[in-house]
Structure 1
Amino acid sequence: MSLDLPPLIRDRLQDWQAGLRALDGASKSTITAYGADVAGFLAFLARHWGESPVPRRLAAITATDLRAWMAHERGRGISARSLARELSSVKSFWRWLAEREGFDPTVVLSARNPRFRTPLPRPLAEDAAREVLSVVGHQHETPWIAARDVAVVTLLYGCGLRISEALALRGSDHPLPEVLRVRGKGGRERLVPVLSAAREAVAAYARLCPMDLTAEGPLFRGARGKALNPRLIAKAMERARMQLGLPRTATPHALRHSFATHLLSAGGDLRAIQELLGHASLSTTQIYTGVDTARLLEVYDRTHPHA
């Protein structure tokens, strides 16, 4: 947070961040990023105006001021996507501040986000996803480690978990229930059905694991008994990718994308997929409809070549 800001504004910024933590359940890293976005914006205004950005002055902000800030950010190489995130942080703070200081935040809240093209997720084909699960199981010469890696990647593809969510499971979660309660981003909880293949993969790992999987300890362990480092699963995916000739986008997170895309292709309901993935907004989940359409067009072009 910038030390050039007046004490009152620094206090307001800290109060806003505390509210995000308490009410929205945002993660520490997210709150830090939001705070840096807003502090940077306020520091720009101080330089742009030549005076401290106190509430009275902030209430009089103009659309021209906002355009000047956006031009400054783009001029220093900030992408349209990153600028949109910064503007979102600023709008959130402005809305909060206006309620407490009693001014109209419309000028900031009505600012248009910069346009950018959202890249589509890069899921694996269904046969490739199944091959990954098979190949991972034959990579390590130590049986329990091979079984562990299979269990983790099966949870990513079979349940749509994030790698952080899979590695956050505790010993008390074994044996896996038919429906698993998962705590995702922002502390949001969701219920995820667990396929029998995932339950069996985790059970196979637990039987072979030489460590005592205590109720409060991590379910997935490294070779020395500590919590499994996600980098080890990324390396297992790298090896599988090279063996199968898959693109560099075949990462652990691509298995989660594959879970969503394959469900949608099979006729899954978008709202239900949103709940399974733990997305706060349906618009986040709707990106998978673009993947499905892109695949359809790819198949069309391949099977109906243009003259």
Structure 2
Amino acid sequence: MSKVDILEAWQAHLADGRRRSPHTVRAYLAAANRLLQATGLGNFNDVAKLDGPALRRQLAARRAEGLSNASAARELSALKGFVSFARSQVGEDATPPRLRGPRLKKGLPRPVTPDEAVNVADLVAGTANEAWTGARDRAVLLLMYGAGLRIAEALSLKGGDLPLGDTLAVTGKGGKQRVVPLISIIRAAVADYVEKCPWPIEREQPLFRGQKGGTLSQGMVQKAMARARIALGLPSTATPHALRHSFATHLLSAGADLRSLQELLGHASLGSTQIYTKVDAATLLDTYRSAHPREKKPSG
């Protein structure tokens, strides 16, 4: 097996087996390619023998190139996953090498990518025990990602909010009301759930119902997303609330101003919204370091 064969197998595993987003597949494939170039290895047996110190040396070389803590953590995750995959290919225990990554500053939201958000919602729907609960959870998650709702706000919707139009009046923290736009995919997802729901959707009753017809709990949505997160290989930060963070970050990246974003999120203070400027800047810098030709080592 050549190096090309190894990388193709790794790419197929990420894209088809783990259903990672195209962006993640590219990043993890590049990390594996750099490791193979640095070590000169060309088969899974040798890759499977790599240990913690070997990966630490590779990571140190990358850090010397100016890699940020966040990018270094992602690089390490890719390398550990690659070695784990190699071990599974040669019939060994697929446990990855034990190695701690760099410490990351806490405080900034950790959004998911658009592909990851949609993949999570679709996987939740496709793996549910019943079609109606899958449609329900998908609709809730898309309300959080596509309209920026908090989970409690989504679950507080009632039958009287139907039929959904182009906008939705939401009551947030402190009883503050705001109006959010609803794109067609959200309206379609809610309509699909309503059609499949075995319980009558009454005006004063919760829109999203639990298995026995009561109010759907936040814990059920969180568990559904946790299962999808694990299946897709996403980090533990990929929670339902991360979908709201993604809504904010992606709007800011697309040119939304802070005041408008504050209104859409229902923040009482602009300071709460300003944190997303740091998230967007961090994402931009990470993209720059990944794409700028002076940040790349010559291939060969």
Q: Under a length normalisation based on structure 2, what TM-score does the superposition of the two structures give?
A: 0.62
> CA 1:203–1:219 in structure 2 vs 1: closer, same or farther (change >3 Å)?
same
Structure 2 equivalent of residue 197 of structure 1: 185
Question: Does the aligned pair in 1 maintain the 2:290–2:296 contact within 8 Å?
Answer: no
Match of 1:276 among 261, 264, 267: 264
Of structures 1 and 2, the larger Rg is shown by 1
Structure 2 equivalent of residue 178 of structure 1: 166
Q: Distance in 2 between matches of 1:146 and 1:140?
A: 5
Q: Are residues 1:161 and 2:161 paired?
A: no
Structure 2: 5+ residue runs without aligned partners? 1-104
Give the 3-state SS of the residue equivalent to 2:127 in structure 1: coil
Q: Are residues 1:120 and 2:116 paired?
A: no
The 4+ residue runs of structure 1 with deviation greater than 3 A are none
Give the 3-state SS of the residue equivalent to 1:158 in structure 2: helix
Structure 1 equivalent of residue 127 of structure 2: 139
Q: Distance in 2 between matches of 1:265 and 1:186?
A: 28
Deviation string, structure 1 residues 180-234 (Cα, Å, up to 9, x no partner):
1100001110011111111111111001101011100100000100000110100
Give the 3-state SS of the residue equivalent to 2:278 in structure 1: helix
Q: Are residues 1:237 and 2:225 paired?
A: yes
Deviation string, structure 1 residues 247-267 (Cα, Å, up to 9, x no partner):
000000000000000111111
> CA 1:118–1:280 in structure 2 vs 1: closer, same or farther (change >3 Å)?
farther
CA deviation after TM superposition for structure 1 residue 118, in Å: 6.6
> CA 1:118–1:286 in structure 2 vs 1: closer, same or farther (change >3 Å)?
farther
Q: Distance in 2 between matches of 1:270 and 1:293?
A: 14
Match of 1:209 among 197, 202, 205: 197
Number of equivalenced pairs = 191
Residue range with higher mean Cα deviation, 253-262 or 291-300: 291-300
Q: Identity across aligned pairs (percent)?
A: 56
Question: Does the aligned pair in 2 maintain the 1:139–1:236 contact within 8 Å?
Answer: no
Give the 3-state SS of the residue equivalent to 1:138 in structure 2: helix
Structure 2 equivalent of residue 107 of structure 1: none
Question: Does the aligned pair in 2 maintain the 1:172–1:216 contact within 8 Å?
Answer: yes
Q: Under a length normalisation based on structure 1, what TM-score does the superposition of the two structures give?
A: 0.60
Q: Distance in 2 between matches of 1:195 and 1:129?
A: 15
Question: Does the aligned pair in 2 maintain the 1:165–1:182 contact within 8 Å?
Answer: yes
Q: Distance in 2 between matches of 1:134 and 1:155?
A: 13
CA deviation after TM superposition for structure 1 residue 303, in Å: 2.6
Q: Are residues 1:288 and 2:276 paired?
A: yes
TM alignment of 1:24-35, pairs within 5 A: none
Question: Does the aligned pair in 1 maintain the 2:166–2:182 contact within 8 Å?
Answer: yes
